[in-house]
Structure 1
Amino acid sequence: MKQKYFQHNFNAFVLAGGKSKRLGINKSLMQIDGRSLIERTVALLQPFASEIFISANDPGTYHFLQREIIEDIFKGSGPLAGIHSCLSCTNKKYNIFIATDLPFVNSEFISFLIDNYDDESILIPSIGGRLHFLCGIYKKEIHGAAYELLKNASVKENGKINVSVFDLFKKVKGKFIEVADQPFIKKELLFNLNTQDDLLAYKKILRKK
């Protein structure tokens, strides 16, 4: 699927998450060069989508973006719940999802993903065999499969549910594409901000740029 067809046919969703328990802050509002991570992600997606939405459960936090906020139908159920809710309400067959805590994702990577998309239920990148589920293309029609997983989920002792986006990927026979050998790939491309150590590493990378 070529990029010139993408903006007309696709919506995009920014997975904002919320306050990180491990970081103690809302990662999406972290300021980099005078702009928050979520503003950066929205701007990155602008050329690729008909509309851009924010997946978040604290809508008041993101009113400044002037985008429609999609709240989870299944509260407290992690990224799978966000993807399910977004696919349930989208008016497009194809949808791209990007987590806001992937600060080094670039337009070359998104273009590559789009150009290699071929009507898969899910298409996600892999770097050296590691799959990245929160940066990919998802078809609307799989929202029913996500619903079934969430409806039948149980809560583990740690308070988290026992299903994930990986379970959806397996259920709908999603595909991945290896991107490690692509010219736009740098080691930190899909670097994810989760812990204080990640934050320190992130700042170290920025100082080198």
Structure 2
Amino acid sequence: MPHPPIPISRVTGIILAGGKSSRFGSNKALFEYQGKKLVEYSIEILHPLCGQLLLSTNQPEIFAFTGLQTVSDVYPDCGPVGGIHACLQQSTTEHNLVTGCDLPWLDTRLFEYILGCSPSYQVVMPMHKGFKETMASYYHQSCAETLEKALQEKHYKIFDAIAPLKTFYPEIDEQDFYSEKLFANVNYREDIG
């Protein structure tokens, strides 16, 4: 049962935009779909719930148009764990919502739901059809230390890095915001059609 809403002043949104986009062929965060760049979808999805938004990237100059605070990895080239870790270190709130920049069909209500599940856990990662969604999740700021240890020990896979943390995987298949396309990400240009 989700808890009462957490005030937006106590929540930071973290958008991971540091991927190589090698399958896509160019920086997919900047790809326009229906008049908006993919990163702008992520901003719109998180903005209603977050008092602060951080953008994880090692190319801050190309995201200047967003007006967001950019955060470079402390441990470069370590994938999403490196980006989440760096942003948790920069976050000024204990509650943090994390998403990738390539999931334009996510819904603000999903993040509202996982935020409501968060008070008892360090990580909340939604699950559907038995699959855990790493790129639409909640991290308490206290996770930063555990993620740093994982990075130092070269544990770059998210599930290895969060193994010591108190994690909840709520099944969301029956929620009214759920759809088959909710977690569809854009890896190839054909995925956006």
1:165 deviates by 1.1
Judging changes above 3 Å, is the alpha-carbon distance between structure 1 residues 183 and 106 closer, same or farther for their aligned structure 2 residues? Answer: same
1:110 deviates by 1.8
Q: For the residues of structure 2 that align with 1:127 and 1:19, how far apart are their CA atoms? A: 27
Q: 2, 5, 11: which one pairs with 2:4?
A: 2
1:134 deviates by 1.6
Counting only pairs closer than 5 Å after superposition, residues 123-134 of structure 1 correspond to structure 2 as 123-134=124-135
Compute the RMSD of aligned alpha carbons: 1.4
Counting only pairs closer than 5 Å after superposition, residues 43-62 of structure 1 correspond to structure 2 as 43-62=44-63
Judging changes above 3 Å, is the alpha-carbon distance between structure 1 residues 8 and 96 closer, same or farther for their aligned structure 2 residues? Answer: same
Q: Report the equivalent of 1:36.
A: 37
Q: Report the equivalent of 1:202.
A: 192
The 8 Å contact of residues 125 and 136 in structure 2, kept in 1 or not, is answered as yes
Q: For the residues of structure 1 that align with 2:151 and 2:180, how far apart are their CA atoms? A: 34
1:168 deviates by 2.1
1:19 deviates by 3.7
Aligned residues: 191
Q: Report the equivalent of 1:159.
A: none
Q: Structure 1: which 5+ runs fail to align?
A: 154-161, 204-209
User: Identical aligned pairs, as a percentage?
Assistant: 24
Q: 156, 159, 170: which one pairs with 1:166?
A: 159
The 8 Å contact of residues 87 and 140 in structure 1, kept in 2 or not, is answered as yes
**1:93 matched to 2:94:** yes
The 8 Å contact of residues 147 and 162 in structure 2, kept in 1 or not, is answered as no
Q: Report the equivalent of 2:182.
A: 189
Q: Larger Rg: 1 or 2?
A: 1
1:2 deviates by 2.4
TM-score by length of 1: 0.86
The 8 Å contact of residues 125 and 170 in structure 2, kept in 1 or not, is answered as yes
Partner of 1:117: helix, strand, or coil? helix
Q: Structure 2: which 5+ runs fail to align?
A: none
